Structure formats: structure tokens, C-alpha cells
Amino acid sequence: MVRGYKRLAGAAVSLAVAGTLAAASLVTGAGPVGAESPAAGKGEYLVFYGAGGQAEALRAISAGGGAAAAVDAKLGYIVAEGPGTAFAEALGASPAVVGVTGNRRIGAATALAAGAGPATEPVSLPVSSSQDAAASRQDEAASRQDAGAASEAASVRRVPSRGSAARRGEPLSGRQWDMRMIGATPSGSYAKSRGSKRVLVGIIDTGVDGRHPDIAANFNRSLSRNFVTDHPKDPNGRSLDGPCEYKRCKDPVDVDDDGHGTHVASTIGSPINGIGIAGVAPGVSLVNIRAGTDAGFFFLKPVLDALTYAGDAGVDVVNMSFFVDPWTFNCARNPADSRADQLQQAGIITGVQRALDYARARGVTLISALGNGSTDLGDPTVDKESPGYPLGKQRQRTIDNSCLNVPAESRGVISVSAVGPSKRKAWYSDYGTEQTDLSAPGGDPSDTGSSLKGTAREILAAAPTRVLRKQKLIDAAGKPTSSSVVRECHHGSCSYYQYLSGTSMASPHAAGVAAILVSRFGKPGKGGLTLAPSRVERLLYATAIPVSCPASGSTTYSVSEETHTCSGSAAMNGFYGHGLVSAYRAATTKG
């Protein structure tokens, strides 16, 4: 996951002993309740109302001295502006209001156009305006002037014959222990089903480098969207996303300034093209549905927009390697929190669940990373990471099982734990008998149960050149400066790949397997193929390889000096869920 999940996936985390762990919490929720605008002394809020409670919620907003800017009737919330934290707490007293979450102005569809009066009728918020679409097209055209991007795009046109690559495997396939573990190889699932181009897999993440030579052929630019706007600084004036690189600080739909989303997309669907690696489902279409900032924050409004769009656009599977900020665990009634904080967390729980329900009802199979907190989610006791925004505001609080990691513990979501190359549960991976649905390769630098060494125990997938250059992981000449980066060249053009670990790296393996199942059993639907999420879920569980708990019933991790207890049978347990995902079994099952 990115930022939120102990930075194991998303914003790559370097651990002294465990190597680079992909930031485990890509879920960055809306900003804190009462995040007032310095100029106006007011805050913007997402006010979630109960069934039939829209009119009463609008009255409560007005009575509290606020104003409604927009209404999203699909998910049942109002975008409102009001005078600070006291306003949010006053709204919480209304029986019609079920959550109030402060909203940071991220993304093009945060509110209605300037000048619009208070909403009195249900208004469906647009995914993007024609003005935003035009600006996006201008940004895309400008981005093609980037020398590095132009070089990468050129290399796509010089791909060698695919026949031999399909038989022998891609140039870097020898480094893909993860694909061998799940049977995604030339003699395995690739020989049976590589996935259909008509299947759309959405990557809700930090973006996707759509011009990477090992992604471009499968990247669906026309359906991709970016729901965030980069913010150079945080409210305290500290650097956040870095300098704006495009007009209006809005990146094109084929840009990833973090690298997390590109790695995830590559694992799902890098094509078989004689370049680098191949993904789990190398024949599917990849759709960037960006909800994460350059800094790896996933705020509530962009996450809601991304999930709603996935449902409306006919996306078949989405991968969510993140948690919604700013809370690692959301507790609607935790006495350790203020009333304003409780309302914010209730808003996140409610809003994300509604968006997930909306997408699932429209045929979207929901796959999530479980988390990198090394925690039994069935018995959490302490949260030291929240709130993660504004920066530096974390505090230790006592929590219990009523507190939820969102979206991993939300209803209708298939949550995935991570294993290392020996199939041992990764030391960092969260677990739980009620929370773990499946397991998949996520990498574990501390897993000594195989012949692999160091970074080779992690997951290798595509990385954006300019991100690696910015992180000084490649030098001016393009040579890697770290063993975590691999350069693969042919015909004078090179592409880059990076080793990362995390449950963020595990869930895309499951998403790829889900895409294979939709490709095989889906029926013609909106823009392609469709298969009911409930059936995809059943097939995923049926084709998973059962893995029993360790013989001792627990596993001790020397890296963190922790003991994690595994409960359950081989058919279903807290470490592996229904088992290890299998691309080969998905490609060969009779359904």
C-alpha cells in the first residue's frame, strides 16, 4: 500500500533490515475535519446523510451557518462550506447526518462551478467538465515533448518479434519468482489465457506511466482519468507534492510521479512483447483511475470519484493498494477521539462503503491490499500512525475491533495478504481470520526460506524513468545506482524495473487472476465483457491453492521480533485466507 500502509507500497519504504517495502497505505482520506481555509476562516466538508435525509441535512447545514455547494445523490453526500470544527460538530447532532469529513480541494470535481447557489435538488457531480477534459488533452500533448517520455515511446515501436518471447519468456522472467509461484508462465497460464483486451482493469493509485515500453501496448488512455490536483505545499508551507509540472497542477492521465501505481499496473498486465517482464494477465486493458497524490496521499473525495467512475465506465476489476487517509483505523465511536474526529472517521467508513457498493452493483470486482502494519486486524489494540495528515499530527490511541482499515475491511472487498518467496506470510503483512480473503506474492526481504538473496526476494515490475532519476536510483547516464533497480535494453532503447515489497504488490496478482476469470467467463457487457463480482469472488476462492497454518500455529519474525498467530484450517485461515491465488488454475478451471 502507499503512504498509509507503513509506506510499504506507494512511497517506497526503505527498512534497514528488510529492504524497500512499498508504501502500505495508498489510502489517504480527506483532510482533517475543520481544515479551514486560511483566507476565509472556513472549511469544506463532505456531509453524509442517511436514507431520505438529504433535505434535513441541507437544513442543518444552513442552520449552522454553512452553505451547500453540491450534492452527490449517487453516494448520498453534500459538499458544504462552514465555519470550522464547531460547524462540523453541530452537523453531527442532526439525526439525518451520519458522517462529516473535512475535504481538501483535490481533483477537478470537488464542487460545482463557481457561482452556483446552494443545492436544493439532488445534483449528480460530473466526473469531469469539458474544460477539464480540454486541459487534460493540452497537458498530454505537452507531456509528449518530454525527452525521456519520447525516448520511451519510441522504444515501443521497436519491439522484437513476439513469437520467441512467448515461448521462452520475457527477458527478465527469470527474476519473476512471483509469477512462477502462481503459474503465470509460458507453459502455465499464458498458454491457456492471457486475458482479453475487452476486460478493463482499473488501477486506483498514484497514476500509471502509460508510455512505459512494458505498459503502453495495454494502456487504455481514452478511459483513464486523474481525479487529483498536485499540491506543492501542505497547509503549513512544507513541501508536499513538489513543483507543479503541468497546467493547473494536474498531471496527464499517463503520468505517475510516484511509481507505485506503475508497479501495480505492470504486475497486473505488462504485455508479452519481448521487453522486460510479463504481468499476470498480459492481454488485458489497463485503466489509470488516479486517486493518489504525488506524495502518496489518498484523500476521501478522489477515492469516491474513482470508485464511482469505475462503476460508470464499465471497469471489470479495480486494484486498491492503499488506505484512505488520514486514519489507518477508522473508529466511529472511539472515546479516545474528539467528536469531530469521530464524525470524520464515520464519514470515511460510510462514504467509501457507499462508493464500493455503487461500483460493485455495476459489475466491478473490488480487490484490496490488506495492509503492511504487521497487525492482526481481528484484534487491533494500538494505532500509532493516525491521523497521518496534516503531517506530524500522529498520536498513539487505543483501538479495538470496531475500528476499520478502509477499504481493506469494507464489505464486498476481496482483501489480500502478502507472502515471500518461500510462501511464508510476509513479516509486515496484516492478517486476520475474518479479514484475509486470499494471499499472493508480495515480497519479503527477510524471507530466508529460499535460495534468493536480498532484493531478489521482492517483486520486480515496471518503474517510470523520471521517478527513478528524481530518486537518484539511476545516474545521469541512466545506469542504476541501486540493486533495487534493473535496466533492460534492446535496439538502443532501455526500460526500467524496480523491486518493491508490500501487500500493495500482492493484491495486483489477485487482480490479474480476477481479470483472467472475467476474460474466460464474462459475457458481452458495457464496452466489453462483464462477470458478476460475486461469481468472480467464488471462482477466485475455488481456484486458490489452500495453504495451511505453520505447524507450530505461529510464525516468529526475527526482523520485528514479533509472533503472529495463525488460526483456522487449510481451507480458510488468518494468514492465507482461502489460499494462494493461482493464475494457472484460473486459466484452466471449468468454472
12 vs 4: CA distance, rounded Å: 12
| Active-site residue, 504 included | yes
Distances from the Cα of 211 to the Cαs of 146, 293, 328, 377, 491, in angstroms? 11, 19, 33, 38, 17
- What value, to the nearest 5°, has the Cα angle with vertex 394 and ends 303 and 234? 60
Amino acid identity at 251: D
DSSP letter for each residue of 155-180:
HHTT---HHHHHHH--TTGGG-HHHH
DSSP letter for each residue of 478-544:
S-BSSTTEEEEEETTEEEEEEEEBSHHHHHHHHHHHHHHHHHHH-EEETTEEE--HHHHHHHHHHHS
499 vs 479: CA distance, rounded Å: 16
300 vs 28: CA distance, rounded Å: 7
| 423-461 residues labelled b (16+ CB within 10 A) or e (exposed) | bbbbbbbbbbbebbbbbbbbbbbbbeeeebeebbbbbbb
| Active-site residue, 205 included | yes
Residue (of 540, 75, 515, 587) closest to 319 by Cα position: 515
CB atoms closer than 10 angstroms to residue 230: 21
Strands 365-369 and 382-383, by their bridges, are unpaired
378 vs 99: CA distance, rounded Å: 24
Q: Which alpha helices (H) appear in 197-285, and where do they start and end? A: 260-269
**Active-site choice (260, 263, 509, 564):** 260
Sequence-distant (6+) residues with CB within 8 A of 69 are: 44, 79, 80, 81, 111, 112, 116, 118, 119
Residue 487: exposed, middle, or buried by beta-carbon count in 10 A (0-12, 13-18, 19+)?
Answer: middle
| Active-site residue, 37 included | no
Residue carrying C-alpha cell 501542505? 234
C-alpha cell at 76: 448520498
380 vs 9: CA distance, rounded Å: 21
Distances from the Cα of 413 to the Cαs of 322, 348, 563, 566, 574, in angstroms? 13, 16, 27, 21, 16
**Active-site choice (178, 205, 258, 444):** 205
308 vs 136: CA distance, rounded Å: 20
Element (H, E) at 225: strand 225-226
Residue (of 557, 536, 388) closest to 1 by Cα position: 388
**Active-site choice (94, 386, 504, 507):** 504
Give, to the nearest 10 degrees, the angle between helix 339-361 and helix 85-92.
Answer: 70
Strands 19-21 and 36-37, by their bridges, are unpaired
Q: Give the active site residues.
A: 205, 260, 504
